[in-house]
Structure 1
Amino acid sequence: MRKTIMYTLFFSLLLSCSNDDDNFVSVMSYEIRVNYDETYGGEGAAGAKVTFLNLEDGRSYASTTGDSGLATVDIVPGNYNLTASLTMSKEDFETFTGQGVEGDVQFNASLQNIAITAEQNESAVLRLVTGTIGNLLLKQIYYAGSDTKLGAIYRDQFFEIHNNSNDTLYLDGLCFAQLFGSASTPSSLQSYHLPNGQLDWSKSVGQSKGDKSNTDYVYADEVIRIPGTGNEYPLAPGKSAIVAGTAVNHKAPLTIVDDEGEEKVYQVENPDLTVDLSGAPFEVYFRDYLVENGGSFLDSDIDNPNSVNVEVAFKSYSGKDLILDANGRDAFALFYGDDEIISSWDRLTGPDKPIDDIEDKTTRYLQVPVSVLIDAVEVQQSDPARQKPKRLPDVADAGEISVPKGRYSSQSVIRKQARIIGDRVIYQDTNNSSEDFEVLDHPLVEID
């Protein structure tokens, strides 16, 4: 009997060990190379921080490159997004390039959806580029919205512009663009996709920019613009301005009159989930524009006479208000552009549209030069397994930011404070939203 028990225990132990082996996830050593791009000679970049984000479980790994630009990390096999960043001091940059600059220079690079396995272990190469650091920033973006039953859904969305410079800047003519692209990573690539799953805009009918279509341009489906003659809307150093979807107090019930003249009330059961935007200096009011163009409007899109209505500079997106994607499948950009400038840019159909399917009513997208962007931010799905391919090139934003609680969570993303000079906050801007932004559980609304 004792032998029987011992044999039973022995085989149970063997079975347990076998099950542990089945569940064991091996760790492998992976080497990555980080080089400067050809503009700076293409040599290896020492001291670059490299981050690996696992797209299955959301875990991240980090390493730093040595003198030759190589870094090694122990990592679990899987699919990864890779980013690299390096800050070079003014003095080191001038010694390195011979070019004079006003301050530190930020380098960034990224690769998406890279498979790292025992069989696919060839070293990836990240090429560092520099981008424009703007004086006007997208300081805060509230795209997630609030609870669909207890809050205001998307009605309380807004973005906030900040003057990060030492000088008074004018917002007249400043444009905010929502950028179009693949909303998810395709399971199989088509001829109109880039290797990372994003649309290959060089395949658009009528495209004239060739290989630069995907690196030197972004594609907008909506551009709104702050009006003015050039000096009507000053923004002092260290000050911010909110652009609201609808500039009302979303904590209070919203009473409207619908198309049939009937009164309708949008109740807000939990005011703590939303925000008061009644003091926002700017708002997006589309009703007049939509009616003039033969469209319908949202009855919740009401006009606050105390807020300045932005202009519609370009619109092919069907949204009837400022509707940012609550899931985070979006990217945004700031630039200056009057009607003459914007009308000079190409309008292209999507790369997935063959020429025989294109009609006058086919949706077109505005081709915006990356060179005019003064700030850009990539936002992302909170679920790593459902993330979209990036829409912005690395020179505009090498990273991305998401709200971990997802859509209608009342969370916003806001820039980190870099330093404080007197009573003025300088916000971080390295053209890498993964590093520059943090998450607020509730939007911060401060009306200057």
Structure 2
Amino acid sequence: MAPQIYHLTKALKSKYFIPGMPGCNGYIIVTVCHYIMKLCSSRQDQQDGKVISLLNQLNFEVKNGGTDLDEDQSFMMLLRSFVRELKVFFKVPNSKSTTQNQIELLAAFIDFLLEIYDGIRYLPSTHKDSLEICQTELKFFITFLGDKPASQPTSLDESKNVLTDIEAVANDIGSLFYLSYFYIGKRDSKQDNRQGFAIADILGKVDQVKENIKEQCMAASWKKLTPKTIVVSLFLFDSLLDDLNILMIQKFEMCTDVKDQIRTIHEELMSLRSFLEQHPELEGFLVDTSDIAYEVLYILTSYAPVWYLTLRLPQVMKKIKLTSEQVASQVEIPPEDVANRIAGMLKDSENPSRKVSLEAQTPSVKEDIFVGLDDEANEITEILLGNQTEQQIISIWGMPGLGKTTLAKKIYNDDRIVRTFSQTRLMCYLSNI
């Protein structure tokens, strides 16, 4: 049963200093409480039971005690007992005792460490720069774990198992955080020195993990991603291309080292989409092309360093080439002919008389593709055409590929909207929102 922590977390949030625990504050303890709550739904053991009991007691003390917790000796004794039991939560849980798989547990634990970092970065420390590097590397590990084509196990020997390596580093950082910020007593210079040595050792291990990730990425170059796309639809693929197009506009300056690859991927997906539209009998390949588009969007919207992009984007380009070859084999067209047709499409798009700006370059969308969006489009259109005198802002939000941009364009081009807002209608792309 999950513990009751409402009164406890409300009281601790404003505590910037915990008596007897100079390395800790209320935000950090609240973060741990929320993490424990998440684990309660997927596992239960004797250690958890003891911690949950302490949490319930602490919550009861706050609910029925005074407002000055620092002077409440009973509360402070319980809080110190609680902190002493937390070490077990600063390592990745074992998947055998939970309903989650190991990658999910590892990602959740790293996310927990990042939340802890948000609470400790304002505390006095002589190692802030090194801790910030640890934060950056943890964010990248989250990105890698979510990049399924790259993070799935390969034929690499067990000593180079990347997931095991990431888990070991995460456990080291968890241990460092617990020992550095959840200790009871006075802090001395020896603790600072030990923390510095521990961080240096961790960063050395991180460098090795990144080398192993590079190896795994190269080993995974020709692995095929299990399709995520369930619905075969040009509409869905168009929506993904729209999202990728907007993303290029927003992040082009941030990806200067790989922008040519990003542009090429977008153009080749556009051309492949046009080719598939000309051959309706090959609509099954929309699953593969949509998966590739999803993959690109994930890589570009995640916290990935440039060196990772330079590894993954060429692999995506190889997948596009492989898909083109498979398409060619189905229609009995030599692969080089498909490549030439695609190249011709790209060349035509570069012709000054036919060239469209990057901002305006979007695939055409047929009206009969908008199955399932009519109700949403009509609802928004009616709101826009209503007699409201106050300013309105209507948001369309969701994951990439759901059709947000395409739905907005459908409304924008609606005859009723065009007539009503003929002089005030404007479409623009906004970034950094």
Given the two structures, how large is their TM-score scaled by the length of structure 1?
0.23
Q: Which has the higher contact order (CA 8 A, sep 6+)?
A: 1
Question: Which structure would you say has the larger Rg?
Answer: 2
Please identify which structure carries the higher helix content.
Answer: 2
Please identify which structure carries the higher strand content.
Answer: 1
